[in-house]
Amino acid sequence: MKRAIQHHFRFSLTSSVRARLTLWYLVMVAFIVCLFGVSLYITQISLNADTAERAAQLYQDSQRFAETYRQVLLDRQAPTTLHLKLSSQEIVLLLHPDGNALDSRGPLTDSLIQQLQTGAEQNKGMIDLTVRRSLPWWTINTTYHVLVTPVLNQNTRVAILLVGLPPPHPTPLGIIWFFHGLLALLVAAIGGYWLAGKVLRPVKMITRMANEINATDLRRRLHLQRRDEFGELAATFDHMLARLEAAFKRQTQFTADASHELRTPLTIIDLKINQALTQLEQPEEYRQAFEQIQAENAHMAAIINSLLLLARADTGQIALNLQEVDLGDLALACVERLLPLARASQIVLTTGDLPEVLIRGDSHYLGQMLTNLIENGIKYSRHIGKRVHVEVACEPPLWSVVRVQDDGPGVTDEHLPYLFSRFYRVDKARSSRQKGSTRSTLPDQEKPGGTGLGLSIVQWIVQAHHGEIRVESKIGTGSRFEIRLPLL
Ligand code: ADP
């Protein structure tokens, strides 16, 4: 069954939840990486554009201011009177060729002017000037790029012009990335939540349906038609329900059968007591009535003992007393014990080879196993067959074999699978004691009825010894029970 389920669920890679989850996860991570990449790309492009724009402005302003100052100097006017259109934060310093400051604009302090003068003296084309601005709560350092341009008149340097611009507003990369990271996290959270919901939907469904199923309604199934892990889970669950249902049915049937089996002798006992109280007069009649009551009582005791044994076996309460047992000896002892019963039933009880075959087992239960089989052989062959044959063999290296064969009525194929079920009887009318009022006059060994539990007990004993039991039977030819138990 398990193999069948596994075969059914050899699902393809795309249909497995694991593969789909991985795929979705990949898609999500790819999306987040792309989002971050695009954000970085856009930031870089805007940074580059800003820088190029600033450089162009610095160059143009320098050219324009140089031309204006050249005119002012040629006209011998004071450069400080000149009206220059500056952008905010822009700085301008006009130096005489000997280094003296002719004009200065923007946030220039003396020390900054001095720095610029030194730079100009060193004939630098571009000077990086750090301007410090103190705000109440912190100080901002801005590095200006200052372009040094000579103011020429017919190839003669009449002044040196220094124009500076602060760098473009520093891009708040940290903040951009923080928000983009936040966005990516949000996407991951929403995506993950959605994904988990989508993946766990069948689990919810299974839970809901499982909650709706209760012990009295074990016929329901999930029937989840999916070719993935959840389909496999639901199918396993369905199989488990089927097994539970079967076990539940067996249990109910067992209780009903047990009640029925016990009710029959009780009814007979009640009938006999009433008869004795109201109709019987002769001591011989009383004796017969009590004999039957005794027989029914013995039958009830047999049923209850067998039921108790099976119930204790089911709950694992029986501890086998494992010892070295010689199956040959055990079979011989059982046969000797049952010879009187066989003789009384006009059955010849024979033995084949009974060699020494050692196994590890509980001699009490193994004896009960052999007794049940031989008794059945005698019981069911009576008036039909002539012989019950017992033999023991050894099949090294693994097995010891016990065979009990009769030439009784045999069992049809349709009954064979159920022979070991509790209370199962092939011929209920023949085996049952309910019409026992006529049979009650027969001696005990003449009664073909049984408890219907003998073979169930045999099967439990075999399984408890890790063995196997097989039955071959043909109508008119007889039955052969073969038990294989592991050798010592
Ligand atoms: P019972 O107590 O009725 O014998 P068992 O569990 O021992 O119960 O056997 C179950 C049924 O199997 C019997 O009722 C009988 O119909 C059938 N059976 C068992 N052994 C034999 C046999 N040797 N020959 C024919 N039928 C058998």
419 Cα–ligand 1 center, Å: 7
Asked whether residue 21 falls in the same domain as residue 106, the answer is yes
**Cα angle 256-262-268, degrees, rounded to a multiple of 5:** 130
Of the residues 267, 295, 318, the one at which a domain ends? 318
478 Cα–ligand 1 center, Å: 12
Q: What is the pLDDT of residue 441?
A: 37
Q: Within 10 A of 28 (CB to CB), how many other CB atoms are there?
A: 18
Q: What is the pLDDT of residue 437?
A: 38
Class of residue 40 by CB neighbours under 10 A (exposed 0-12, middle 13-18, buried 19+)? middle
Q: What span, in angstroms and rounded, lies between the C-alpha atoms of 366 and 488? A: 14
Asked whether residue 282 falls in the same domain as residue 431, the answer is no
Residue 459 beta carbon below 6 angstroms from any ligand 1 atom:
no
What is the CB-side half-sphere exposure of residue 126 using CA atoms within 13 A?
8
Residue 385 beta carbon below 6 angstroms from any ligand 1 atom:
no
380 Cα–ligand 1 center, Å: 7
Asked whether residue 208 falls in the same domain as residue 225, the answer is no
Of the residues 318, 347, 363, the one at which a domain ends? 318
Give helix 173-212 / helix 17-74 axis angle, nearest 10°.
160
Q: What is the pLDDT of residue 136?
A: 79
Q: What span, in angstroms and rounded, lies between the C-alpha atoms of 128 and 117? A: 13
Asked whether residue 312 falls in the same domain as residue 325, the answer is no
Asked whether residue 121 falls in the same domain as residue 171, the answer is yes
Q: How many structural domains does the chain have? A: 3
Closest residue by Cα to residue 451 from 322, 295, 294, 306: 306
Residue 426 beta carbon below 6 angstroms from any ligand 1 atom:
yes
Q: Residues 446, 366: contact at Cβ < 8 Å?
A: no
Asked whether residue 250 falls in the same domain as residue 119, the answer is no
Which residues constitute the domain of residue 153? 1-212
76 Cα–ligand 1 center, Å: 139
DSSP 8-state symbol, 383: T
Asked whether residue 328 falls in the same domain as residue 361, the answer is yes
Strand ranges for 87-204 from DSSP E? 91-95, 101-105, 126-134, 139-153, 156-165
Residues with pLDDT less than 50, the chain: 1-9, 429-448
385 Cα–ligand 1 center, Å: 15
CATH number of 253's domain: 1.10.287.130
Asked whether residue 334 falls in the same domain as residue 428, the answer is yes
314 Cα–ligand 1 center, Å: 21
Asked whether residue 153 falls in the same domain as residue 182, the answer is yes
Instruction: Identify the bridge partners of residue 126 per DSSP, sorted by sequence position.
Output: 147
Asked whether residue 188 falls in the same domain as residue 65, the answer is yes
Q: Residues 99, 117: contact at Cβ < 8 Å?
A: yes
Residue 405 beta carbon below 6 angstroms from any ligand 1 atom:
no
Asked whether residue 12 falls in the same domain as residue 150, the answer is yes
Residue 368 beta carbon below 6 angstroms from any ligand 1 atom:
no
Q: Residues 196, 63: contact at Cβ < 8 Å?
A: no
Residue 431 beta carbon below 6 angstroms from any ligand 1 atom:
yes
Tell me, yes or no, if the pTM score tops 0.75.
no
Of the residues 281, 302, 318, the one at which a domain ends? 318
Q: What is the pLDDT of residue 1?
A: 44
Q: What is the pLDDT of residue 248?
A: 87
Q: Whose CA is closest to atom 13 on ligand 1?
A: 425
Residue 471, phi then psi, degrees to nearest 5? -135, 135
Q: What is the pLDDT of residue 446?
A: 45
CATH number of 474's domain: 3.30.565.10
Residue-wise pLDDT for 358-401, tens only, equals 999 999 999 999 999 999 999 999 989 999 999 999 998 899 99
Residue-wise pLDDT for 135-176, tens only, equals 778 887 888 889 999 999 888 889 999 999 887 766 677 787
Q: Residues 126, 148: contact at Cβ < 8 Å?
A: yes
Asked whether residue 347 falls in the same domain as residue 422, the answer is yes
